[in-house]
Structure 1
Amino acid sequence: MTTTSLPASLVPAPRAPGALPGVGHLRQLLVDPTRFLTGLPSYGDLVEIRLGPRPTYVVCGPDLVSEVLVRRHRDFDKGGPFFDNISVFFGDGLATCPNAKHTRLRRMTQPAFHPGKLPGYAELAGREVTALTREWREGQILDVRRLMQELAMRITVSTMLSSWFDDTGADVGEVRRTLGDVDVLVSGAFLRMVAPGLARLPLPANRRYARARDSLYAHIDATVAAYRRAGADRGDLLSMFLAEDGDGNALSDTEVREQVMTMFIAGISTTAAMLAWTLYYLSLDDDLDAAVAAEARKVCGGGPARHEHLPRLTTLMAVVTEAFRIRPSAWLFSRTAVTDTSLGTYRVPDGADILISPYIIHHRPDLFPDPERFDPGRWTGGTNSWAKAERTMAMVPFGTGARKCIGHDFTIMNVMLPLATVLADWKLTPATSRPVTLVGRSIIEPRNLDLRLHRRQVS
């Protein structure tokens, strides 16, 4: 254990009430996690909760987020309940690897996300949106969560792994099976985070989890092997991962698999959730929906949205930004203290688990008045409103600092452009009276989101 001289004035972090012997705050996290988490700032900017018998320190204030992710990030390595459990299937992917590996992996994978690559990826994504909407009909009811997962998967495959399915295209069954594997891993990761002991039991859910992981591993490994045999640059992300850098360095097959697994799961889950949430909020506001549609038609000229259109889709950008605020898909991530240290006035011991929740920060009323209200007007103060909020740690859906998500621009593009293309031609309205609820897994998703299609009448 590292020993550091700390001020004697430091105090232990306050503990949240309601922990039960042996399980801690497990019930609150499983039954209504967002309500539980958003109540924690009332106890302090750093609050201790229990995941089982183990203490976990939840960061509840933007200044302490900055301490962990930016100003003293070397005192806090990747680890803790979230990353310890998702690394079971991500391995040392860029999102989960320790700091000691991150610089090299970031340097090796960064070229795949160079701004110059995004227009080409956007064209591929546009084809998938066009193919999806070609079969839509007036009055059709969409299971939006499922449909956006399928769209996000097709976009992710076309831009990352162009030969994941054979060149004639995947059948519906194969797409659904792969989405099922992704769904099992996303669901299982959250349960393992809040109840890690369950992962060691011979339960059917754990066997499904292992099968899903092994299925995706096998598919990725076979695809990587095929790319290496062909030796051709397909212009996708995997081709970039397999290329040597200027010094002749390259990722190993295991490292390639870990990067692909990370970005495949994150790309599908995050993109799908944000597409679905944005469509949900627009379905509740006719005026806002009409404004977004009019902008999309004017900017895109009646065709698919392209990368070059992004700077002029300002109304849609405000809507998407607010969706990322109110329902950040990646709502929990963790760190581990690597030395005896402090956060604010609180003592943090070496080895302590640190939990950061963008959801908590985004729902603080001192940062966003009336935080449960969907209000894109918060982001109409200029094109850099999101960047300004990120600098103050008020807006951190992709993290921040040296380990900010490498694919943040890629993800925003893959949310914005499909929405612009769809909303220019189609209005979506609630199809049932069932309330849409939030599902708090490792990704925040909507449940019961059925929307009805109406073709827009354009004068």
Structure 2
Amino acid sequence: MPNSTSTPVLPVPRLKGRRLFGNTLDFKKDRLELFQRTFAECGDIGIYTIAGQDCYLVNSIELCHEILIQNGSLFEKTDRFRSFARPLLGDGLLTATNEEHKRNRRLIQPRFRTAVVRHSADITAQVSRAVVAGWKDGDVIDVRREMVRLVLGVVGQNLFSRDILDEANDLGNALTDAIHGFDSQASALIPLTIEWPTPANLRYRKAIERLESTFHAFLAERRALADKPDDWLTLLLECAYDDGTALSDQQIRDEALNMFMPGHETTATALTWSLHLLSRHPECHERLMAESDRVLAGRPATGADLERLPYALQVFKEAMRLYPPVYMFSRQATTDVEVGGHRIPAGASVVFSPYALHRRADYFPDPERFDPDRFESEREAELPRHAYMPFGAGHRVCIGNHHALLGGQVALATLAGQAHLTSVPGPSPVMEPMVTLRPAGNLLMKVTRRSPVPAVPTAPNPSANGATAPRGCPYAH
């Protein structure tokens, strides 16, 4: 609620920093450690300083609820985020103001969720099998690169009804350059607009041009078709406001790239960390392979299989707890706000770190341990609300959260049935917190092709391949 002058407020603890730079160099060097240290030294709310700006790190379920749910309308996406994200994402759902977001999300979300349930399981299974088909027994593959290909293939089919696997490496490189451009501006001591001809900005602009040219070519093709395929691009073309006004080409471009860029990056990153964790915990890997063999016996997964593949989903959720792709996000106060007895002034940046939140031992005992059974249905139901927040929370929670969970579940179950991936000798991967929490460099693994143990799987229910999810499926809500 807005602060009252008659109400005493508690001072917000401040993390010590350097005289001129505050905590800017700490943020550039190791922002994950900075978040952990701010929490350890300041508690549930603390201030660190970046380039002269105070950032209020919030790291408790109570304060997350108070800001993102109870007072969500009083916080917008930050001006800084919009300035460096808008050249790529335009005015789509990720960058829109609260008012624009509410209007457009109400238009897009209902049909988007239906489309996810109807198509995504089949598409993810087909693309996953196509990617694995290119792996030979004994190959050493870069798992990060292969998961980017896999998820780009899925997004290409869902969004454009196109097989873009052959273009995946080129598009993946463009997306990587875009992410580096994002991060370069986000962490700069002196933020420069994209017009400044720095090397990072030049790569960022080239990446945007590559992605835009691909999208506009696909859009022109689609508009020329009399019989349009049932995919996300057609969904956007058919969206109309209450007065009958359709989305403009610019709006379609913005929303499509909001689905394409973050949707690919977060899921590919989460799958990469999932496979890394499984390779380091063979008992979990064996359990996943057994589940895949029992349910699928080598056949492609369908929507009807989701409720019979719970362990695949548990693995994916636990990987996103330990390595949340969106490891931080921020909001900007539009007015003076009092939360938890503390005053947050208008214009202040409030930072949330799922990475730090997911490592609170009072929410997740032994938080550094990989334990997919934390997300067994009964144990998951006992978790405090907002303790697990890989997709954010509140009215701006990620619109693609159901699709990401479904895609991760089906991809892991499919990969486990087709190949056994093991780590090759070498150092453990290092986290590289940029726009997402990627592993730095390559993540190499050895492929052992496998034939699933013959089994008699439960027959899939054809009715579950329609517009509704099977009972117990987490994507039905």
Question: Which TM-score applies when normalising by structure 2?
Answer: 0.89
CA distance in 2, matches of 1:28, 1:52: 11
Structure 1: give runs of 5+ residues left out of the alignment: 164-168
1:104-253 matches, cutoff 5 A? 104-115=103-114, 117-163=116-162, 169-170=163-164, 172=166, 174-195=167-188, 197-200=190-193, 201-245=196-240, 247=242, 248-253=244-249
Q: Which residue of 1 aligns with 2:259?
A: 263
Deviation, 1:84, is 4.0
Determine if contact 2:56/2:350 at 8 Å carries over to the other structure. yes
How many residues end up aligned between the 2 structures?
448
Q: Which residue of 2 aligns with 1:18?
A: 17
Structure 1 119/340 Cα, relative in aligned 2: closer, same or farther at 3 Å?
same
Deviation, 1:81, is 3.8
CA distance in 1, matches of 2:301, 2:80: 40
User: Of 449, 454, 465, which aligns to 1:455?
Assistant: 449
Determine if contact 1:432/1:450 at 8 Å carries over to the other structure. no
Deviation, 1:386, is 4.6
Determine if contact 2:108/2:239 at 8 Å carries over to the other structure. no
Deviation, 1:252, is 1.4
User: Of 29, 32, 38, which aligns to 2:30?
Assistant: 32
CA distance in 2, matches of 1:310, 1:325: 21
Indicate yes or no: 2:348 matched with 1:349. Answer: no
Determine if contact 1:427/1:453 at 8 Å carries over to the other structure. yes
Greater Cα shift, 418-427 or 30-39: 30-39
Deviation, 1:433, is 1.7
Say which SS state the counterpart of residue 405 (structure 1) adopts.
coil
Q: Which residue of 1 aligns with 2:469?
A: none
Deviation, 1:219, is 2.2
Deviation, 1:138, is 1.3
Determine if contact 1:68/1:76 at 8 Å carries over to the other structure. yes
Determine if contact 1:40/1:60 at 8 Å carries over to the other structure. no
Determine if contact 1:77/1:98 at 8 Å carries over to the other structure. yes
CA distance in 1, matches of 2:80, 2:10: 24
Q: Which residue of 2 aligns with 1:408?
A: 401
Structure 2: give runs of 5+ residues left out of the alignment: 454-477
One-letter amino acid of the structure 1 residue matched with residue 160 of structure 2: L
Say which SS state the counterpart of residue 343 (structure 2) adopts.
strand
CA distance in 1, matches of 2:5, 2:386: 25
Q: Which residue of 1 aligns with 2:431?
A: 438
Root-mean-square deviation (Å): 2.1
Indicate yes or no: 2:360 matched with 1:364. Answer: yes
One-letter amino acid of the structure 1 residue matched with residue 389 of structure 2: V
Say which SS state the counterpart of residue 197 (structure 2) adopts.
coil
CA distance in 1, matches of 2:82, 2:381: 26
Determine if contact 2:93/2:105 at 8 Å carries over to the other structure. yes
CA distance in 2, matches of 1:213, 1:439: 22
Deviation, 1:17, is 1.6
One-letter amino acid of the structure 2 residue matched with residue 190 of structure 1: D
CA distance in 2, matches of 1:180, 1:458: 34
Determine if contact 1:220/1:257 at 8 Å carries over to the other structure. yes
Determine if contact 2:127/2:154 at 8 Å carries over to the other structure. yes
Structure 1 299/255 Cα, relative in aligned 2: closer, same or farther at 3 Å?
same
Deviation, 1:183, is 0.4
One-letter amino acid of the structure 2 residue matched with residue 310 of structure 1: L
Deviation, 1:388, is 5.5
Deviation, 1:457, is 5.9
Deviation, 1:223, is 2.2
Say which SS state the counterpart of residue 192 (structure 2) adopts.
helix
CA distance in 2, matches of 1:387, 1:337: 32
CA distance in 1, matches of 2:110, 2:223: 19
One-letter amino acid of the structure 2 residue matched with residue 353 of structure 1: S
Deviation, 1:80, is 4.7
Determine if contact 2:298/2:451 at 8 Å carries over to the other structure. no
Q: Which residue of 2 aligns with 1:317?
A: 313
Say which SS state the counterpart of residue 386 (structure 2) adopts.
coil
Structure 1 411/196 Cα, relative in aligned 2: closer, same or farther at 3 Å?
farther
CA distance in 2, matches of 1:253, 1:388: 45
Question: Which TM-score applies when normalising by structure 1?
Answer: 0.92
Q: Which residue of 2 aligns with 1:305?
A: 301
Say which SS state the counterpart of residue 27 (structure 2) adopts.
helix
CA distance in 1, matches of 2:231, 2:165: 21
- 1:370-400 Cα distance to aligned partner (Å, 9 max, x none): 2111111222252xx55664x6210011111
CA distance in 2, matches of 1:7, 1:333: 32
One-letter amino acid of the structure 2 residue matched with residue 218 of structure 1: S
Percent identical pairs in the alignment equals 31
Determine if contact 1:38/1:364 at 8 Å carries over to the other structure. no
One-letter amino acid of the structure 2 residue matched with residue 152 of structure 1: V
Say which SS state the counterpart of residue 278 (structure 1) adopts.
helix
Say which SS state the counterpart of residue 17 (structure 1) adopts.
coil
CA distance in 2, matches of 1:294, 1:198: 51
